[in-house]
Amino acid sequence: MKKRVKALWELCFNDSEEFTEMYFSLRYRNEINHAIRSGDEVIAALQMLPYPMTFGGKTVPTAYVSGACTHPDFRGKGAMRELLSQSFARMLRDGVYFSTLIPAEPWLFDYYKRMGYAAVFQYSVKERTLPEFIPPKEVVVDRVAAPREEVYAYLNKKLSERPCCIQHTAADFEVIMADLAISDGNLWVARQADEIKGVAIAYKRADRIVVNELLADNKDAEYGLLYAIKQCTGCSRLAQLLPPDEELPQHPLGMARIIRAKEVLQVYASAFPEERMQLELSDKQLSVNNGYYYLSGGKCRYSAERLPGAHTRMDISELTERILKRLKPYMSLMLN
């Protein structure tokens, strides 16, 4: 199966040979792949990559749809729609709360919306001029070229502080480090008294430096990281990607879809006990989510039959947007 899926990937995508080899050696596994075949040929495939996500004060399981592609000879015939529907059923059985993805093209936002997704992940960009001054001597900054447990532990701690954010496992951190090596990127670590106080992950592009993550405990560590980037790249300006910021323009990034409505709404109700909702929910792909939901006092009740009172009608895409938008969900380092 792996060889057939890889051949379809190479037919459909323009990724470099290095990236494709990295993906299929470190990230792809048959057990997270889902495909449709015509005879011995794979005509559509996708991978459901597991990622934890902070949500409502808890960490819940999600599945990130990666490498979704259809053979050119079979496009426009419903193969991907069927594949996604089957994948949702599999996610449901596996206990996944949300499915997430990043559309490869702008027009795909509308396509995935019809499959129940909502465009809830956004990001902001902060243009920064790199500091001229030399950081304090007690701040020591080094580039790290291979995965280190202590670096991952710091990165994981800082990302988990974000209230609604895709998290990265230790295995995924290895993939991130491998991508840096082939994508003109670097990871810098700032230390004070031999303790990690900051991490920066940046990629060099044709016209600028793009910092995907800059996490620091204090300004000295932050400026030390910025100064190191400047010294290494020779660039004095960079673009820093950030979670959506009200004071900066916000740009669309990714989409989410509720897979297990009962569980998601219970977590949401517990996090927002003041929220009251009487909802009639419809889900074209996962009929198990259809029904009536009643949120009050931190609890979510479900009924297959309508109970008295006025109900707000929503489809699964509208509900996903309704509960996630206010939380400003964020994802980074997804190799998009």
pLDDT computed for residue 22 by the predictor: 95
pLDDT computed for residue 232 by the predictor: 86
In a 10 Å sphere around its CB, with 0-12 CB exposed, 13-18 middle and 19+ buried, how is residue 55 labelled? buried
**What would the two tokens of residue 245 be?**
């910021």
Q: Confidence band (pLDDT; 50, 70, 90) for 292?
A: very high
Element holding 216 (H helix, E strand): strand 209-216
Per residue in 192-231, pLDDT tens?
A: 999 999 999 999 887 789 999 999 999 999 999 999 998 8
pLDDT computed for residue 4 by the predictor: 94
Amino acid type, 142? D
Asked if the model's pLDDT at residue 144 lies above 80, the reply is yes
In this prediction, residues 143-169 reach a mean pLDDT of 96
The dihedral sign for the CA sequence 208, 212, 218, 224: negative
pLDDT computed for residue 19 by the predictor: 95
146-160, 205-219, 246-260: least confident range? 205-219
pLDDT computed for residue 88 by the predictor: 98
What is each CA distance from 44 to 5, 76, 88, 210, 241, in whole angstroms? Answer: 8, 12, 15, 33, 33
In this prediction, residues 59-79 reach a mean pLDDT of 95
Report the DSSP beta bridge partners of residue 242: 124
| Edge-to-edge strand list for the sheet holding 277-282 | 299-303, 291-296, 277-282, 312-315
What is each CA distance from 126 to 9, 26, 72, 245, 253, in whole angstroms? Answer: 34, 32, 39, 10, 16
Per residue in 89-114, pLDDT tens?
A: 999 999 999 999 999 999 999 999 99
pLDDT computed for residue 331 by the predictor: 97
Asked if the model's pLDDT at residue 282 lies above 80, the reply is yes
Report the DSSP beta bridge partners of residue 143: 188
pLDDT computed for residue 38 by the predictor: 86
Asked if the model's pLDDT at residue 134 lies above 90, the reply is no
pLDDT computed for residue 333 by the predictor: 95
pLDDT computed for residue 237 by the predictor: 85
pLDDT computed for residue 159 by the predictor: 97
Asked if the model's pLDDT at residue 66 lies above 90, the reply is yes
Residue with the larger pLDDT of the pair 155 and 230 = 155
Amino acid type, 149? E
Domains and CATH numbers, the chain: 2-120 (3.40.630.30), 131-235 (3.40.630.30), 259-314 (no CATH)
- Residues 303, 307: Cα–Cα separation, whole Å: 8
